[in-house]
Amino acid sequence: MSNRPFDLLQDSIGRNVMVELKDGITVRGTLMAFDVHMNLVLDSAEKLVNGETRNRYGKLLLRGDNVLLISP
């Protein structure tokens, strides 16, 4: 059981996550890595619009100061 935010992220490595960014963009992908600044590396990343895939990116680095929420 994860009690701290970074524990939850660590438990989510290799799993699909949904990330909402400050500008309202939603991205889904496999969490590969993160750091203390909440920078995220996603693989098989997709931009979602109204729940449907709009763009596919493959590997994607999201800068932590743009991240609003991460849903494991």
SS3 labels along 31-50: EEEECCCCCEEEEEEEEEEC
pLDDT at residue 10, as a whole number: 95
pLDDT at residue 72, as a whole number: 87
Name the average pLDDT for the chain: 94
Beta-strand relationship, 40-49 and 67-71: unpaired
Residue 2 has pLDDT above 80, yes or no: no
Q: From 24, 2, 25, 3, select the one nearest 15 (Cα to Cα).
A: 2
Q: Could you read off the pLDDT of 7-30 as tens digits, one per residue? A: 999 999 999 999 999 999 999 999
Q: What is the architecture of the domain spanning 5-71?
A: Roll (2.30)
Structure tokens at 19: 């990330």
pTM above 0.85, yes or no: yes
pLDDT level of residue 3 (50, 70, 90 thresholds): confident
